[in-house]
Amino acid sequence: MIRIKDLSIQLAGFSLDDINLNILDGEFFALMGPTGAGKTLLLEAIAGLIKPRRGKIEIDGKDVTYLPPEKRKIGIVYQDYALFPHLTVLENIRYGLHFHKIKKDEEKKRLNYLADQLKIRPILERYPENLSGGEKQRVALARALIINPKLLLLDEPLSALDPVFREEMKKELKEVHKSHKITFLMVSHDFSDVLSLAGKGAIMNQGRIEQIGDISEIFQKPISHFVADFVGMKNLFKVSFKETKAIINDAIEVETGKTLKNSYGYLAIRPEDIVISKEKLTSSMRNNFKGVVKNILNHGFYHELHIEVEKIIFKALVTKNSIIELRLEKGTTVYLSFKAASIHIL
Amino acid sequence: MKRKKEIFYLVSLISGILIMFFILLPLIKMITQPSISSLKEAIKDKEVIKAISLSLYASGMAALISLIIGTPFAFLLARKDFIGKRFIESVIDLPIVIPHPVVGIAILSVVGKNYWLGEFLYKMGIKVMGSVTGIITVLTFVGMPFYINSVKDGFLSISPRIENISRTLGASMTQTFFRITLPLALKSMLVGIIMCIARAISEFGAVVIVAYHPMVAPVLIYERFEAYGLKYSQPVAVLLIIVCLILFFILRIISLTKKEKAL
């Protein structure tokens, strides 16, 4: 188990403050946050590459806070892979073996296993400059895994790959995690990567952890304005509460389905939870509003509609087919509906 | 637009031709002027061979000293930020900008008997003035900045992440330096050595103040020019150029080979 307690790091112009994190053995944990949130810094502190100002890092109950990186048995794979350019793929992978007392037979066994699992046998004699992004990624993984680390740190491991390799590598990462039974800690800002790979995660902002929990929980129930915004809750409104209703700008009353204790707060709705129709829907959805399409943004596979209701803009996602079928364009009058269960009160 | 572009290229081309002309004309003239027989005579002249050998030896020693003490210092400058770093970097560049005779006078002022260091060295039996030690001291002084700057740039071009990976794989800081950083910086080190030797071998102003004797090649060329004129100094100069060209050509080939291997 990885336990981080009150960890603080002070660098020129940036600091990590009071980081508390528990990662269970064998877990695939994702660390998310915008650029400059301190994710990589935290990763490097866990690896022992940056000294903390205070706090504690424990691995399996052992305090490793001031242990040098070479004594921690923590592997790291960077976004740019950081392969040793003057060594062949085989030499890159074998590098870590020089510093660990491993029998020759075992070395060979591990090497063969990784070469087959990561499909790198044909490229063992090549130099890194002659490898594709996907191949470099596999080599970096094999190099980190050959020493059987207790924890593998992945710094944006898929961000430099093209979409085809990305999906392939996602599958491989999943398989590697399953077969090696190692704890994975991955930094990412891509929600689809996180949703398909990690079980638990944390959102970081300006050197602090904003929310920790199950990935689905973070995405569905953000606990702060920042997290809601970060995980794509594009409809975020300041509201006042009256019994079970949340009132936006004293103009729109939204049925939340629950009695609210506070007088004021925030209401969040995911854009994909809003249903768009030309006629008023007669369904179980308790919130129906008439509005006008103000803008349509093309995001490739889907479109983002900006719909004005009582001078308040709601954002909804629809497919290209829906745009054609509903003949949606700027100025079209539509109905937007959403369930009370889709509403998140912050 | 196209016409403007063409004019720009034309100006660039003319500038290039002028620069080539400016650099090559005196050199070509000097190289081609001495007769083969005078060159042969220069090769047979023990004093010439001794001076060129001493120039090569002292420059080589300056490069070796720079390599040994300059490499770790260059690594420190490339990897760490500390108070006064900018000042230290400026101090390293000082020998490049100081007039050469001033360098000689500055060195003499600390190794002369009137100063504690000079007195200490004298008691230790180390003679600086008018000795090979003095020549090496001067050449190291003028050559080392070129080595340090080149190697520092080499270290800076290596991503610290590569070193981080090495550490997490079990290598200590020293092991990482020798197994990863040094091989990757080898090309810069070789370039630094070439620069250091090149600067040292051409030094005259500082050497002539600290050690006129034993004579290095530039001092001998100057002396022959002063005593016998252009005709007698040119063969020595040509011989020095040929030897330097061969040496730098070999070092360049080695450095390029290392680069290919590193990639």
Which CATH number fits the domain A233-345, given the four candidates 2.40.50.100, 3.40.1400.10, 2.60.410.10, 3.40.50.1100?
A: 2.40.50.100
Q: In degrees to the nearest 10, what's the CA dihedral of A191, A197, A201, A202?
A: -40
For chain A, the residues whose C-beta falls within 8 A of a C-beta of chain B are 12, 44, 47-49, 68-70, 72, 74-76, 78, 80, 82-86, 95-96, 98-100, 127, 129, 143-144, 147, 149
Domains of chain A by residue range: 2-222, 233-345
Q: Check residue B27 and give its pLDDT.
A: 86
Q: Do B164 and A95 touch (CB under 8 A)?
A: no
The rounded distance, in Å, linking the Cα atoms of A114 and A126 is 16
CATH number at residue B174: 1.10.3720.10
Would B13 be classed as within a structural domain? no
Secondary element (H or E) of residue B224: helix B217-228
- Is the dihedral angle over the CA atoms A280, A285, A290, A291 positive or is it negative? negative
Comparing A105-109, B62-66, B69-73, B108-112, which segment has the lowest mean pLDDT? Answer: B108-112
Q: Check residue A219 and give its pLDDT.
A: 85
Strands (DSSP E) found in A140-256? 151-155, 183-188, 200-205, 208-214, 235-242, 245-248, 252-255
Q: Do B180 and A84 touch (CB under 8 A)?
A: yes
The rounded distance, in Å, linking the Cα atoms of A63 and A52 is 13
The rounded distance, in Å, linking the Cα atoms of B113 and B100 is 22
CB-nearest to B263 from A75, A127, A143 is A127
Q: Check residue A200 and give its pLDDT.
A: 95
Would B231 be classed as within a structural domain? yes
Show the domain range for B75.
36-262
Would B6 be classed as within a structural domain? no
CA distance, residue A17 to nearest chain B CA (Å): 23
The per-residue pLDDT of chain B, averaged, comes to: 90
Residue B20 touches chain A, beta carbons under 8 Å: no
Q: How many domains does chain B have?
A: 1
Q: Do A144 and B168 touch (CB under 8 A)?
A: yes
Q: Check residue A242 and give its pLDDT.
A: 87
Q: Check residue B261 and give its pLDDT.
A: 46
Residue B167 touches chain A, beta carbons under 8 Å: yes
And the tokens for B253?
Answer: 């080939």
Q: Check residue A168 and give its pLDDT.
A: 83
- Kindly indicate the confidence band of residue B133, based on its pLDDT and cuts at 50, 70 and 90: very high
Q: Check residue A189 and give its pLDDT.
A: 81
Secondary element (H or E) of residue A315: strand A312-319
And the tokens for B251?
Answer: 């070092």
Q: Check residue A346 and give its pLDDT.
A: 78
Q: Do B170 and A48 touch (CB under 8 A)?
A: no
- Kindly indicate the confidence band of residue B243, based on its pLDDT and cuts at 50, 70 and 90: confident
Q: What is the pLDDT of residues B141-180, one digit of tens each?
A: 999 999 999 999 999 999 999 999 999 999 999 999 999 9
CA distance, residue A70 to nearest chain B CA (Å): 4
Residue B165 touches chain A, beta carbons under 8 Å: yes
Q: Do B175 and A99 touch (CB under 8 A)?
A: yes
CA distance, residue B76 to nearest chain A CA (Å): 17
The domain made up of A2-222 is a member of CATH 3.40.50.300: yes
Would B71 be classed as within a structural domain? yes
The C-alpha R_g of chain A, in whole angstroms, comes to 24
Q: Which residue has the higher pLDDT, B3 or A167?
A: A167
The rounded distance, in Å, linking the Cα atoms of A306 and A324 is 16
Would B15 be classed as within a structural domain? no
Query: pTM of the prediction?
Result: 0.81
Q: What is the pLDDT of residues B88-131, one digit of tens each?
A: 999 999 998 999 899 999 998 898 878 888 889 888 888 888 89
Q: Check residue B2 and give its pLDDT.
A: 65
- Kindly indicate the confidence band of residue B263, based on its pLDDT and cuts at 50, 70 and 90: very low
And the tokens for B62?
Answer: 């300056």
Sheet of A62-63, strand order: A14-23, A2-11, A54-59, A62-63
**What does the DSSP assignment read for A121-157?**
GGGTTS-GGGS-HHHHHHHHHHHHHTT--SEEEEEST
Q: Check residue A128 and give its pLDDT.
A: 96
Task: Return per-residue pLDDT of chain A as tens, 346 residues.
Answer: 899 999 999 988 889 999 999 999 999 999 999 988 999 999 999 999 999 999 999 999 999 999 999 999 999 999 999 999 999 999 999 999 999 988 999 999 999 999 999 999 999 999 999 999 889 999 999 999 999 999 999 999 888 777 777 888 888 889 989 988 899 999 988 887 888 899 999 999 999 999 999 998 888 888 888 898 888 888 888 899 888 889 998 889 999 888 877 788 888 898 989 999 988 887 778 899 999 999 999 988 889 999 999 999 999 999 988 888 889 999 999 999 999 888 888 7
Q: Check residue A98 and give its pLDDT.
A: 93
- Please give the DSSP secondary-structure letter assigned to residue A27: -
Residue B262 touches chain A, beta carbons under 8 Å: yes
Query: Is the pLDDT at B258 greater than 70, yes or no?
Result: no
Which value does ipTM take for this structure?
0.81
Would B79 be classed as within a structural domain? yes
CA A227-A228-A232 angle, 5° bins: 110
Query: Is residue A185 within 8 Å of residue A46, measured between CB atoms?
Result: yes
In chain B, residues with a C-beta closer than 8 Å to the C-beta of A76 are 164-165, 168
